[in-house]
A = this chain, B = another copy of it.
Amino acid sequence: MPETNPGLSIGQVAERTGLSVHALRFYEREGILVAPVRRGPGGRRVYSDRDVEWLHLCVNLRASGMPLPAIRQYADLVRRGAGNEEHLLDLLRQHRDRVTAQLEQLTESLGMVTHKISAYSEQLAEGATGPITCVAPQRS
């Protein structure tokens, strides 16, 4: 059991999520959070574990290329509660498809780069008997 937190400061959440404190405030302003963060004495933000979980999710979505407006949309749907499951699923499926496409694209690029690397290495190994040749090779 990981300690049940009594609430984290913005700095602690920044550490834990890898977001900057600036980004955390920014996300909140942008409606990325499902609900505005609770405030402690002096108006300081106090993040719950759930907030932090949600932020982890956001970081994940961002890292896989979901734009902030889409995340906000997602958050909106969650905020509104039940009755939007279909819509939520749509969003997720769309994202999944985009991620899949990205994976394909990346895999292709990786193949190309790897190919280039081995071509260059070979060329270098055998004594570079000419100017750079294979600069812009095969197909798109």
Contact = CB atoms under 8 A, between A and B. Distances in A.
A128 interface: yes
Nearest to A18: B140
Interface residues of A, number: 60
Contacts of A64: 105-106, 109-110, 113
B85 A53 contact: no
Give the oligomeric copy count.
2
Contacts of A50: 136-137, 140
Main secondary structure on chain A at its contact with chain B? helix
B128 A99 contact: no
Contact of A140 (B51, B103, B123, B136): B51
Contacts of A107: 103
A95 interface: yes
Contacts of A123: 85
